[in-house]
């Protein structure tokens, strides 16, 4: 049993804060509980003590669903931070407000933040949050969930233990706007490659989109510092939906069909000229399959105890954003290689999830908009 | 039975001209006969009437193997062209001499040329051969053999008949030097996509290699005029040896492990959020599997009769070379998008197969024993 129970609060009581898990009926990409409130209720290390949302309808649904009293729901998250003094706080609002809420939460003395993606909209915002969190010793985990998915953690273990040999290539077919779900795609490529991106080339869906700040689809080529090369197709992917392909000299792991299948290939003798054949072998599952939300909590509890960075840290969140922006810069500059880090920190991507965010999606649906 | 039997001669009596098929013991990438000598012997359309090679050892082996008299073997191909007046001539010498020999053969009045790849070393050479070939009405087929492989033909039929929907992506994991076997990889990408390349981005194996003219490995991003995008990894591919992945909105074809397996995927109902699942279905084979070499001859005979271009034409050979050179130019220019066609026609790649070509590989092997 955990030595202590942390007080946890959720800010933003909509889909990711509360009800996302209801949409998922098959395992693979997610193992439940996954989203924030059900995780805090299920995790032995946390107690869900409060929620904050300016929209009263959201708060009422949240309180009823997760067994909170009316007084535990706040319209103003600042009041909640002041009154409840949570140890953990989840950032499940629109991305537009995430940086300023994280700053307020850090200043209010939280120990750990579990933030939805994208981490922030601009690089400036990301820098400010990371600098402050480092100074105050706050652990920030970004919910790029594949880092907490057993198939991806096993693939990374195989990388780390040399079972795939030298890693050569990571390919992602992941239809996405580059900030909204591109955060997941890019972070996963970095995680699997086990290296960092030195430069990128990118082509966006159109010149018009590339010129603006709105979220957009695009493709990119990434050069990693460990020699790996990455190809990301974020434009429509047709019959290849959400797929990652990790290729090493000794083996290969493919995650297919939105994570519903993971394949492992390794060399066996044979082949047309005796040069061996890549043959499919069972994917090596561990003996327990962790739930993804509780895996984040375990990670953050350990970070609080040891000061180590989370498996998907604020720096990782910033990197995913910076790579997406660099791919767009490549297009803006006529199609050329762009080195990281980017000197212009005012660059930003208005993540597509901020569209129409003055009213939460659930309320738009309820009111038939 | 064919109405006419054409007189065929092979220039360059080494591996591709004569004995390559001995190396292949399993089908998939090739169906026999594949290389030039055995194909002319097997084809009902052709009589093998002569061979030319400056190395006497090569000529003797060729004559014995394919049942020619010593009088049918020439040291000088110009004498052979003059004395034998072949209708078909195969270009199986080192690539260094290919353009010059093709020009002599066209001027000697041949009807068709079956040329090994790469088509030429420089763009200027390719331009000269194609201009002359067109003017003299000579059909030129380049032996980028996947265009004469049933799995690739069927994939292209599926593209043409809309079975894969709109084509979005072609990915090639094909460890190769970009002129040498890159000719195959790039041509197969163009063939499968059914479009042409408008611009490329490329990264070569090193700055030093990119600065020179020697053949080299590299990766590239290809923008096709029909909206498809291509990614080629010509650097080391580890556990993904020679693979093509063709992705459309409605289906997908993957050719794996050097052509030993071809997979077809299409949508079935289901999936994480009922968005459909890509499921594997049997690859639709035709009722007859043609031999690769015999398919080339059938194609060229039809070209002679109708005046149309071969399935893998001289223009296709030039395009593969031009795309490879453009990828290298992209690297040379610091990682910039490079538009096709290339203005500088003096650009060239010294295909890796011309290394040490003063003595044929077989003779080098025999001498080293």
* Residue of A173, A201, A237 with shortest CB distance to B221: A201
With a CB cutoff of 8 Å and minimum separation 6, the contacts of A100 are none
Residues 231-260 of chain A with CB under 8 A from chain B are 231, 233, 235-241, 245, 247-252, 256-258, 260
Residue B25 scores a pLDDT above 90: no
Residue B62 scores a pLDDT above 80: yes
Spatial CA neighbour of B51 closest among B21, B86, B94: B86
CA B216 – CA B214 distance, rounded (Å): 6
A87/A158 same-domain check: no
B76/B138 same-domain check: yes
B78/B226 same-domain check: no
Q: What is the ipTM of this complex?
A: 0.94
Interface test with B, best of A202, A238, A257 (most B CBs within 10 A): A238
With a CB cutoff of 8 Å and minimum separation 6, the contacts of B363 are B55, B57, B58
B301 domain residue, yes or no: yes
Residue B2 scores a pLDDT above 70: no
Q: Which parts of A145-246 fold into alpha helices (H)? A: 150-160, 182-193, 207-211
pLDDT at A272: 74
pTM of the model: 0.96
Other Cβ atoms closer than 10 A to B288: 6
Domain hosting B271: range is: 150-287+319-339
Q: Do A249 and B275 touch (CB under 8 A)?
A: no
Residues 255-284 of chain A with CB under 8 A from chain B are 256-258, 260, 265-267, 271-273, 275, 277-278
Domain hosting A66: range is: 6-146+292-311
B74/B191 same-domain check: no
Q: Do A238 and B236 touch (CB under 8 A)?
A: no
More confident residue, B355 or A115: A115
B218/B72 same-domain check: no
pLDDT at A4: 66
Residue whose structure tokens are 């922006």: A325
Task: Using CA coordinates, name the residue in chain B closest to A28.
Answer: B272
A354 domain residue, yes or no: no
CA A122 – CA B39 distance, rounded (Å): 63
% of chain B exceeding 90 in pLDDT: 91
A290 contacts chain B (CB < 8 A): no
A181/A266 same-domain check: yes
B chain contacts of residue A249, beta-carbon cutoff 8 Å:
236, 238-239
A chain contacts of residue B248, beta-carbon cutoff 8 Å:
238-239
CB B245 within 8 A of CB B169: yes
A189/A332 same-domain check: yes
B chain contacts of residue A272, beta-carbon cutoff 8 Å:
24-26, 28-29, 258, 260
CA A262 – CA A243 distance, rounded (Å): 9
A191/A235 same-domain check: yes
Strands A88-91 and A112-115, how do they pair? parallel
CB B338 within 8 A of CB B220: no
If chain A, 369 residues long, is cut into consecutive pieces of 10 residues, what is the mean pLDDT of each piece? Answer: 80 96 91 97 97 96 97 98 98 96 98 97 98 98 96 98 98 97 97 97 98 98 98 98 97 96 96 86 94 97 97 98 98 98 98 87 74
pLDDT band at B3 (very low <50, low <70, confident <90, very high): low
A366 domain residue, yes or no: no
B174/B135 same-domain check: no
Q: Do B237 and A247 touch (CB under 8 A)?
A: yes
pLDDT at B367: 79
B chain contacts of residue A231, beta-carbon cutoff 8 Å:
171, 221, 231, 233
Domain CATH code at residue B58 = 3.40.50.720
A chain contacts of residue B271, beta-carbon cutoff 8 Å:
241, 257-258, 260
Q: Which two tokens stand for residue A10?
A: 């959720």
More confident residue, B145 or B265: B265
pLDDT at B1: 46
Query: How many domains, in total, are found in chain B?
Result: 2
Q: Which two tokens stand for residue B62?
A: 């060729």
Helix, strand, coil percentages in chain B from 3-state DSSP, rounded to 5:
40, 25, 35
Domain CATH code at residue A13 = 3.40.50.720
A115/A163 same-domain check: no
Length reported for chain B: 369
Q: Which two tokens stand for residue A137?
A: 């010793």
Range B127-151 average pLDDT? 97
Cα angle A42, A44, A47; round to 5: 75
Q: Do B239 and A165 touch (CB under 8 A)?
A: yes
Range B139-147 average pLDDT? 96
By CB atoms closer than 10 A (0-12, 13-18, 19+), residue B286 is: exposed
Residues 47-86 of chain A with CB under 8 A from chain B are none
Interface test with B, best of A239, A266, A279 (most B CBs within 10 A): A239
CA A256 – CA B43 distance, rounded (Å): 44
Q: Do B239 and A250 touch (CB under 8 A)?
A: yes
CA A62 – CA A17 distance, rounded (Å): 9
CA B140 – CA B152 distance, rounded (Å): 20
């Amino acid at each position: 049993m955990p030595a202590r129970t942390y007080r946890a609060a959720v800010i933003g009581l909509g889909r990711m804060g509360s009800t996302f898990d209801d949409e998922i009926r098959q395992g693979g990409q997610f193992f439940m509980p996954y989203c924030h409130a059900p995780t805090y209720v299920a995790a032995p290390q946390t107690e869900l003590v409060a929620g904050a949302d300016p929209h009263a309808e959201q708060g009422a649904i949240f309180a009823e669903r997760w067994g909170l009293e009316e007084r535990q729901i706040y319209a103003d998250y600042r009041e909640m931070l002041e009154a409840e003094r949570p140890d953990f706080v989840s950032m499940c609002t629109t991305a537009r407000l995430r940086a300023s809420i994280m700053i307020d939460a850090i200043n209010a003395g939280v120990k750990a933040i579990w933030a939805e993606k994208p981490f922030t909209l601009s690089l400036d915002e990301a820098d400010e949050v990371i600098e402050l969190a480092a100074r105050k010793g706050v652990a920030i985990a970004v919910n790029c969930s594949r880092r907490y998915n057993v198939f991806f953690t096993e693939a990374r273990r195989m990388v780390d233990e040399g079972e795939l040999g030298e890693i050569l290539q990571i390919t992602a077919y992941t239809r996405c706007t580059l900030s909204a779900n591109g955060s997941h795609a890019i972070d996963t490529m970095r995680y699997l490659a086990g290296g960092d991106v030195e430069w990128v080339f990118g082509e966006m869906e159109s010149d018009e989109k590339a010129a603006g700040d709105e979220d957009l689809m695009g493709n990119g080529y990434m050069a990693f510092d460990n020699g790996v090369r990455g190809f990301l197709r974020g434009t429509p992917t047709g019959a290849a939906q959400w797929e990652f392909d990790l290729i090493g000299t000794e083996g290969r792991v493919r995650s297919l069909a939105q994570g519903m299948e993971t394949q492992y290939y390794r060399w066996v003798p044979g082949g047309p000229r005796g040069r061996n054949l890549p043959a499919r072998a069972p994917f090596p599952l561990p003996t327990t399959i962790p739930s993804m939300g509780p895996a984040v909590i375990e990670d953050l509890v350990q970070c609080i105890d040891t000061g180590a960075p989370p498996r998907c840290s604020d720096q990782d969140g910033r990197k995913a954003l910076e790579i997406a922006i660099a791919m767009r810069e490549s297009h803006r500059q006529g199609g050329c290689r762009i080195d990281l880090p980017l000197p212009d920190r005012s660059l930003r991507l208005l993540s597509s999830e901020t569209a129409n965010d003055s009213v939460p999606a659930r309320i738009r649906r309820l009111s038939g908009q | 039975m064919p109405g006419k039997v054409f007189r065929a001669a092979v220039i360059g009596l080494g591996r591709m001209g004569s004995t390559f098929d001995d190396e292949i013991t399993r089908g998939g990438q090739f169906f026999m006969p594949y290389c030039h000598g055995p194909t002319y012997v097997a084809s009902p359309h052709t009589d093998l009437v002569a061979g030319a090679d400056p190395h006497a050892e090569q000529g003797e082996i060729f004559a014995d193997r394919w049942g020619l008299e010593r009088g049918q073997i020439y040291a000088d191909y110009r004498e052979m062209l003059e004395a034998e007046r072949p209708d078909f001539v195969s270009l199986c010498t080192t690539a260094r001499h290919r353009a010059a020999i093709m020009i002599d053969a066209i001027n000697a009045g041949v009807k068709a040329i079956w040329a090994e790849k790469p088509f030429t070393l420089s763009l200027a050479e390719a331009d000269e051969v194609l201009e002359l070939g067109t003017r003299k009405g000579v059909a030129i087929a380049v032996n980028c053999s996947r265009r004469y492989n049933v799995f690739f033909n069927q994939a292209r039929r599926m593209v043409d008949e809309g079975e894969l929907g709109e084509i979005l992506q072609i990915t090639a994991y094909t460890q190769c030097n970009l002129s040498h076997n890159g000719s195959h990889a790039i041509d197969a990408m163009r063939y499968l996509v059914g479009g042409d390349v408008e611009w490329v981005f490329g990264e070569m194996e090193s700055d030093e290699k990119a600065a020179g003219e020697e053949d080299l490995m590299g990766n590239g991003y290809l923008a096709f005029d029909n909206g498809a995008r291509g990614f080629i990894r010509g650097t080391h591919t580890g556990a993904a040896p020679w693979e093509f992945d063709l992705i459309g909105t409605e289906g997908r074809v993957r050719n794996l492990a050097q052509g030993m397996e071809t997979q077809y995927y299409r949508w079935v109902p289901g999936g994480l959020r009922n968005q459909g699942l890509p499921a594997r279905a049997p690859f639709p084979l035709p009722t007859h599997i043609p031999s690769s070499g015999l398919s080339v001859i059938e194609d060229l005979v039809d070209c002679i009769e109708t005046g149309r271009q071969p399935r893998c034409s001289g223009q296709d050979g030039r395009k593969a070379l031009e795309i490879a050179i453009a990828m290298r130019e992209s690297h040379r220019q610091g990682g910039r998008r490079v538009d096709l066609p290339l203005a500088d026609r003096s650009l060239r790649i010294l295909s890796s197969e011309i290394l040490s070509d003063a003595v044929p590989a077989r003779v080098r092997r025999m001498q080293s024993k």
